[in-house]
């Protein structure tokens, strides 16, 4: 059974969240309204509402809690700040505006060790794209990586996909985290070889015929 520790400063939101989790078979072992209160050692997942934190001062609270349990941050929107929470130690970020099903799915995902990113505006729920293998890109991330492999700039990719350059930058950052790559050459190599970039740096790239076939597979 999933046991959760919840940090929420809104009584109304807390009541609704506890009801939702309980109905889904997720046990709430502790409820906190301030990061000054220690998280429960009985929890195997921690939910932290950004409204209960003072950013950036309380980011260290995410880091501390993450040492003993996977942290899922509850944000107010499809926030670009997700990377900041991830760097602090959170395993996932999900918007409070998402459906109960998506939030529950995100909790179960981080509990199993998967990363969860917030959905982009108009996109599919991120919980459906949780990274369960260390190498798993969403459909949109695959599109961005495919364009990168063809040598397109972020601006050109944004025009092709009908999104902003800032959003493309965010996707590239996510891809780097998932693939463990640094520069674009390493990311493309990792995608084509189907393994994290750290394992691919000393591996030969596929021949041209193999590359075309592999690109088609992720298209």
pLDDT in tens, 92-103: 899 888 888 889
Tokens found for residue 123: 């996109």
Q: What is the mean pLDDT of residues 41-52?
A: 94
pLDDT band at 200 (very low <50, low <70, confident <90, very high): very low
Q: Bridge partners of 116?
A: 92
- Residue 146 pLDDT > 70, yes or no? yes
**pTM attached to this predicted model:** 0.59
- Of 153, 118, 163, whose CA–CA distance to 138 is shortest? 118
Mean pLDDT of the chain: 77
Q: How do beta strands 3-7 and 45-49 pair?
A: parallel
Confidence of residue 205 (pLDDT cuts 50, 70, 90): very low
Is residue 23 pLDDT above 90, yes or no?
yes
> Of the given ranges (99-103, 170-174, 189-193), which has the lowest mean pLDDT?
189-193
- In order of 11, 27, 107, the CA distances from 77 in angstroms are 20, 26, 17
Total Cβ atoms within 10 A of residue 164:
12
Q: Does the structure show a pLDDT above 90 at 219?
A: no
> Does residue 104 or residue 55 have the better pLDDT?
104
Average pLDDT over residues 176-202: 56
* pLDDT, average across residues 167-186: 74
If one compares 199 and 9, the residue with the highest pLDDT of the two is 9
């Amino acid at each position: 059974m999933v046991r959760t520790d919840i940090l929420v400063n809104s009584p109304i939101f807390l009541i609704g969240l506890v009801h939702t989790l309980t109905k889904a078979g997720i046990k709430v072992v502790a409820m906190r309204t301030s990061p000054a209160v220690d998280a429960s050692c009985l929890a195997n997942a921690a939910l932290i509402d950004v409204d209960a934190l003072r950013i950036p001062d309380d980011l260290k609270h995410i880091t501390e809690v993450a040492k003993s349990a996977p942290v899922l941050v509850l944000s107010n929107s499809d926030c670009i700040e997700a990377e900041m929470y991830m760097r602090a130690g959170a395993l996932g970020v999900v918007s409070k505006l998402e459906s109960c099903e998506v939030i529950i799915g995100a909790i179960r995902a981080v509990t199993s060790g998967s990363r969860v990113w917030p959905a982009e505006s108009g996109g599919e729920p991120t919980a459906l794209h949780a990274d369960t293998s260390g190498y798993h890109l969403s459909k949109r991330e695959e599109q961005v990586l495919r364009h990168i492999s063809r040598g397109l700039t972020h601006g050109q990719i944004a025009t092709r996909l009908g999104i902003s350059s800032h959003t493309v930058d965010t996707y590239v950052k996510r891809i780097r985290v998932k693939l463990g790559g640094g520069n674009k050459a390493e990311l493309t190599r990792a995608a084509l070889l189907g393994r994290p970039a750290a394992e691919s740096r000393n591996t030969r790239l596929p021949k041209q015929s193999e590359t075309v076939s592999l690109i088609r597979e992720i298209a």
